[in-house]
Amino acid sequence: QVQLMQSGPEVKKPGASVKVSCKTSGYTFGAYGLSWVRQAPGQGLEWMGRISALNGNTRYSEKFQGRITMTVDTSTSTAFLDLRSLRSDDTAVYFCARMSATMYTDYWGQGTLLIVSS
Amino acid sequence: DIQMTQSPSSLSASVGDRVTVTCRASQDIHNSLAWFQQKPGKAPKLLLFAASRLESGVPSRFSGSGSGTDYTLTISGLQPEDFATYYCQQYYRIPLTFGGGTKVEIK
């Protein structure tokens, strides 16, 4: 069965960077893209960007341009999200989600809590 | 960016009720709309895509309709496990955008 397993919770200081991983299984990794979505405490869902697992092409939300890098490791079927220059308002749960060919997100990871605090 | 306006933001309903949630896009999204259910502390779960296509394994009491800019999620016969927050998402154009959510609570 399709599974997306994310790395554990993180606590970072303002200005630091974080790297979140999303290890996938149960499907052909290169056949689907992956999106990253975040959810601040008590808030709604915010799309951050997506990456093609086939060729690594990325599209980022303008809000995160310059602070975000998405990558994939095809040898381990794992996607990564790098977020830099962290601020307190980056405190959120970060989800990875598989994207279908028509770009809806069908399977989601369990989420990774990031707390940014001095 | 395509703005998604979801209403109501919350509602109270009883088991067995018929519940309707609406989502309006700021431009035609050509049925590229998905609905998700999210329970506290959990990841969103896909219910419907292409506005009206039920994801495998999702109960048939969930249905979707609409076209152009206006879409609806209907739950026919609310069950105890359906109390949750529901989100719409357009995937017609990047950036993908979500509605603000509708929290369905027990009356």
pLDDT tens-digit map of A36-69: 999 999 999 999 999 999 999 999 999 998 999 9
What is the CB-side half-sphere exposure of residue A71 using CA atoms within 13 A?
A: 9
Q: What is the mean pLDDT of residues A86-104?
A: 95
User: Residue B50: its chain A contacts at CB < 8 A?
Assistant: 102, 104
Nearest-by-Cβ selection for A44 from B34, B42, B101: B101
CB contact under 8 A, A104 and B32: yes
- The phi and psi torsions of B70 (rounded to 5 degrees) equal -115, 125
Residue A95 sits at the chain B interface (C-beta within 8 Å): yes
Residues paired with residue B105 on neighbouring β-strands, in sequence order: B12
Residue A111 sits at the chain B interface (C-beta within 8 Å): yes
pLDDT one-digit tens code per residue, B44-98: 999 999 999 999 999 999 999 999 999 999 999 999 999 999 999 999 999 999 9
Instruction: Count how many pairs of residues, chain A against chain B, have C-beta atoms within 8 Å.
Output: 64
Rounded CA-CA distance B65/B71 in Å is 6
Residue B7 sits at the chain A interface (C-beta within 8 Å): no
Structure tokens at A14: 């303002």
Separation of first and last alpha carbons in chain A: 40
- Using pLDDT thresholds of 50, 70 and 90, give the confidence band for residue A101: confident
CB contact under 8 A, A105 and B101: no
Contacts of B40 (CB under 8 A, 6+ apart): none
